Structure 1
Amino acid sequence: MVEFQLTKREQDIMELFWKSEKPLSSNDIKVLSNDLSIHTIQQVLRRLNNNGFIKVEGVGFTKNSITRKYIPCVSQAKYLKQFIAKNTEYELATAFIKENTDPKVLDELENLILQSREKLK
């Protein structure tokens, strides 16, 4: 379990990581969120990295410099799970299953349940 609450700025930047399908640099984040200064972004990235929410995935190039590219280490679901009560977890899962109309997703869920049962044996 994560057991760590993000600040508003940390959460704003993590939202960008969770929505992105590629690693992000501080420059990428600056472009995606005009309201944050590059200095603030770099400070927040340092804290997120130190707390295990993101990690360096590689390097990229900007106009005049080399920059680190980061990816999330904690999924949004795993982060939010710490704030949800046990009985609510069950209610969310059953509601999702009952309302889902995609057979492929239901098959994947069924396989996950079977794998979990095998681990319990």
Structure 2
Amino acid sequence: MIKLTRRQEDIMKILWESDKPLIASEIEKKQDDLNINTVQATLRALMKKNAIEVADIVYSGTVLSRSYRPIISRDQVITEYDQVVSKVLNDKNLIAHYVDEINDLAAITELEKIIKEKRKKLEK
């Protein structure tokens, strides 16, 4: 399993969804909040993690550029979200702290309902 940051996950999603290898400038255009410097830095980090590879050297206009493709699947990835959720779910004291902070009877009732449903599933 490979751990990815949110930005690395963003780039990997773009590469996974593409039907062909992409160059950095093509990746940048796929998502509004990306800039070329971020894309290039993220691609270098993903190369170090062996998550992507250079597929080919292609012309981008008159400039030679590397095109990238993923070499790992989505199933081989642990995202920051997965890491946080795992940590929270495994830390009963943290959950108890947040439950203790709830001062809304409706919210507590909803949590009880969720817990009862989960208990039923686990008991089967």
TM-score, scaled to structure 2: 0.59
Would you say the 8 A contact 2:22–2:68 is kept in 1?
Answer: yes
The structural deviation recorded for 1:64 is 3.4
2:21 corresponds to = 23
Q: Summarize the alignment of residues 1-121 of structure 1 with structure 2, pairs less than 5 Å apart.
A: 2=1, 4-79=2-77
Structure 2: runs of 5 or more not aligned:
83-124
SS at match of 1:9: helix
Aligned length: 80
SS at match of 2:4: coil
- Cα offsets for 1:69-97 (capped at 9, x unmatched): 011010112325xx6xxxxxxxxxxxxxx
In 2, distance between residues paired with 1:40 and 1:79?
20
State the AA in 2 paired with 1:23.
P
- Identical-pair percentage: 33
In 2, distance between residues paired with 1:79 and 1:40?
20
Alignment RMSD (CA, Å):
1.7
In 1, distance between residues paired with 2:61 and 2:19?
23
In 1, distance between residues paired with 2:38 and 2:22?
15
The structural deviation recorded for 1:63 is 2.2
State the AA in 2 paired with 1:10.
Q
Structure 1: runs of 5 or more not aligned:
84-121
In 2, distance between residues paired with 1:21 and 1:77?
18
More strand per residue: 1 or 2? 2
Query: After the TM superposition, which parts of structure 1 deviate over 2 Å for at least 4 consecutive aligned residues?
Result: 77-80
- Cα offsets for 1:37-59 (capped at 9, x unmatched): 10010000000011100000101
Which protein is bigger by CA-based radius of gyration? 2
TM-score, scaled to structure 1: 0.61
